[in-house]
Amino acid sequence: MTKEELRSKYLPIGGYFFFIAFGLVVFFIAAFLVVFVRTKSSTMVVMPDVVGKPYNEVHNELMRLQLKVRLESKRYPDKTDGIIIYQSIRPGREVEAGSKVSLTVNIGLDRIDMPNLKGQSLVSAKNSMEKVLSGETYVSLTLGGITYVEVKEGEQPDTVVDQIPEAGKNITAGEKVFLLVTKPSTKKKEGEPQAGLEFKPGDSFAFAQRALVRAKISSKAEVVITKFRPDNGKIESVQKVGNEYKFKVFYFEPEDRVESGYESFVYEAPENGTYSLIVKDQNDETKQMEISAPTTYQEGEKIQTVFYRTGDVTLVLLDEKGSKVKSKDYENEF
């Protein structure tokens, strides 16, 4: 067979093989580049060691790393409440941003739904706090303090008119309960002066303000930031100057805004004048509550307060004519 005959017979076949081989090479190169580009574009993060730390302290860091957190809970009474006792991704491991990580958080304290104490006599309320159902067992709640207010028309003496935490809130058995109670009925001798209001460090500032509003007594507050959560909303110190009360109040900045809790407000008085504060329910315009009696401020002086919020509310600063000067919304973030 001549060279020409060989070429004409086998050259087309070789061309087909070459074409297939070239196509396979192009395919594998393209596949490699796709995998390489995808791998290169994925953001890798290092999993931190969070075991033994309170979840509320590492929440923001995990969100910054774009990790998707799945929370589980277990109860070990001998371990600190709220700490992380297990993480599904070992510390130091590199993972893609967006990876899922499971964390087990310890619930070391009994949890209960806060009972409704409003309308009960103080004696009855204390008895109710002694025996509260938690799962299948009974636990007792600790009384943090009582603030007494004058009896209004339609109210009974020595009766609970408000409470913190509010009824129905899920709390731990270690959380302290504060009560706003009408004064017991006592017979005053003729000419005997009206008993004054007394507040002390550790009392609920929210209820101290409520008592002062009822008595139409002015007060001022200075917000003191604390890193100790149990001090939140409590009076650090108090003094009476003339007819006005001056408070220093602890405030713990929350990581997230939940359905209820303490909030703070700070604003400079735009001019000399008398100002007051009210809180309005965003879901019911008819519900509003005064949280400070009219108080005189100088221009540039800070108007400060700490108050207890239940649900979504709006705090409104009013001038002496009742006109809005400033408002701020406080809402649940979940």
Pick the range with the lowest mean pLDDT from 42-46, 115-119, 155-159, 160-164. 42-46
**Same-domain status, 149 and 256:** no
Residue type, 247: F
**Same-domain status, 239 and 180:** no
Is 36 part of a structural domain of the chain? no
pLDDT band of residue 38 (cuts 50, 70, 90) is low
DSSP code, position 234: B
* Buried/exposed 65-88: b ≥16 CB within 10 Å, e otherwise: bebeeeeeeeeeeeeebbbbbebe
> pLDDT at position 192, please?
45
Is 10 part of a structural domain of the chain? no
Is 40 part of a structural domain of the chain? no
Q: Is the dihedral of CA 260, 261, 267, 271 positive or negative?
A: positive
> pLDDT at position 27, please?
63
**Same-domain status, 221 and 328:** yes
Q: What is the C-alpha to C-alpha distance for residues 102 and 324, in angstroms, rounded to an integer?
A: 47
> pLDDT at position 136, please?
76
Question: Taking 80 as the threshold, does the pLDDT of residue 93 lie above it?
Answer: yes
Is 70 part of a structural domain of the chain? yes
Q: Which position has the token pair 């602890």? A: 250
**Same-domain status, 174 and 281:** no
Question: Taking 90 as the threshold, does the pLDDT of residue 220 lie above it?
Answer: yes
Q: What is the mean pLDDT of residues 50-76?
A: 89
Between 294 and 196, name the one with better pLDDT: 294
Q: What is the mean pLDDT of residues 93-108?
A: 90
